[in-house]
Every structure is written in C-alpha cells, then in structure tokens.
Amino acid sequence: MTSVVSVENLTKRYGDITAVDGVSLEVRSGEVFGFLGPNGAGKTTTLRMLLGLVSPTSGRALVLGRAPGDPGALARVGALIEGPGLYPYLSGRSNLEIIARYAGVSRSAIAPALETVGLTDRADDKFAKYSLGMKQRLGVAAALLKDPELVILDEPTNGLDPQGMRDMRALVQNLGREGRTVILSSHLMSEVQQICSRVAVINNGRIVADAAVEELRGQSDLEVMAHPRD
C-alpha cells in the first residue's frame, strides 16, 4: 500500500524540552491510523510538524510525497488541530462560507460537508449555540471542504459527552469508509481500538508501540506503555 505519511526520526526540541524524540511512522493509504498517547506525549507537536506549522529540529517527514507545508500537499490535507477557530455569532453555514472563500474552494462543497458531519439541519444556527460535539463536527466539515485525501484530527473527542463521542467516532469511521486516510490522535485506547485499523503509541515523545489494532486488543493504555514492543 502507498505511504501517505512517512516520518523518519523526527525530533522537536523547545529549549531543554524534547517534545518529540526520534519519531518514525508510516501511514498507508486508506488507513484510519490511531496516534495514541497521554497528555504531553508529543502528539500535537508531531501533527503540527506534518502540517508544516512547526519546523522539526531534526529528522524528515513526507506528506503525500512532499515536504510538510508544501502547498501541493496541503491542498490535499484537511486538519482539525486543537478545536476550530470559528466565529461564534455566525451560523455554521456562514462560517464554512468564509473558510471556503479563503481556501479558494467552491461554495458547492459546503452542503456535502455539512451532510457528512450531520449538521445540515442545524447549519443556520449560530455557532455559539452549538454543543461542543457539534462545534467539533463543524471543524471537521471545514477540514472536508477541500475534499482531502488525508484528514488529520487532533483529539476530536476530547471533552465531549458520551453522545458527542459516539457521533464523532461514527463520523471518523465514515471518513475511512469513504476511502480517505485518517490520522486520529487520542488518549483513549478504547477509542482507537473501536475505530482505527492501526495504532502508534507515543509516550514522552517516543514511539513505544506501532501495530495493527488487533495486536493491542485487550490491553489498556498503561499496559501498552509499560510493555513497549520494541
């Protein structure tokens, strides 16, 4: 299978802090790839490096065969990192219209994106009135406007109530069924076991396990982190 993301020995230091410490990963086309780790493990920093938002201290990453941040690659990647920065007093639809305009995407992409995330009926409500789960789903809709091959979602279920989590997980599964490659970061083993095909576990900036989800089935987060495979 083709590599959509290929990361070799990626490291990011902030002064004395090593946020990401020699991470190597391959994400293949069509995978729903779980990136699992506790708070502060280095997930967000790694994902930001894949998007070209943070420069690595050393190491190398290729996203869709190009350097992170390359416009040709970014045009094919949709991302939701740390919550969507959207306008509270505009409707969900108006927010997407603004994003589409800035991204140079046709307005015709808005209705299908709203439908995919299950917000068609609430599209004209103000963003401020949305539940956290709906806000996150609108953020995913924004990420989908470009019809991306790769979707990167950084802890999209964080802070959601049980129904919000179920809705978001179903949405992520659907993105995989549509044939998109998805990278989903999470701190919940049960979540990645439910919706991902493969998982890499990161702890203290290092990959401590990288396996098909079945291989880690039945293990808790702590067990996986305490018994690295390699």
Per CB under 6 A, residues contacting ligand ATP are 14, 17, 19, 37, 39-45, 155
* For ligand ATP, the closer CB: 42 or 139: 42
How near is the Cβ of 42 to ligand ATP at its closest, in Å? 4
- 196 phi/psi in degrees, rounded to 5: -105, 155
Least Å distance, CB 158 to ligand ATP, is: 8
> To the nearest whole angstrom, how small is the minimum distance from the Cβ of residue 177 to ligand ATP?
27
Give just the sign of the alpha carbon dihedral 192, 43, 50, 208. negative
Residue among 139, 51, 145 nearest 101 (CA): 145
CB 77 within 8 A of CB 152: yes
- State the minimum distance, in angstroms, from the CB of residue 14 to ligand ATP: 3
Closest CB to ligand ATP among residues 48, 93: 48
Measured distance CA(214)–CA(144) in Å, rounded: 29
d(CA 123, CA 113): 11
Please state the closest distance from residue 2 (CB atom) to ligand ATP, in A: 27
Q: Which is nearer to ligand ATP, 19 or 25 (CB)?
A: 19
Indicate the residue among 39 and 108 with the shorter CB distance to ligand ATP: 39
Of 37 and 92, nearer to ligand ATP (C-beta) is 37
The answer for residues whose C-beta is within 8 angstroms of residue 53's C-beta and 6 or more apart is 69, 81
Query: Helix crossing, 162-177 with 132-144: angle to 10°?
Result: 20
Q: What order of strands is seen across the sheet that includes strand 181-186?
A: 77-80, 150-154, 181-186, 32-36, 198-203, 206-212
Residue closer to ligand ATP by CB (options 12, 135) is: 12
Question: CB atoms < 10 A from the CB of 145, how many?
Answer: 20
State in angstroms the smallest separation of the CB of 48 from ligand ATP.
8
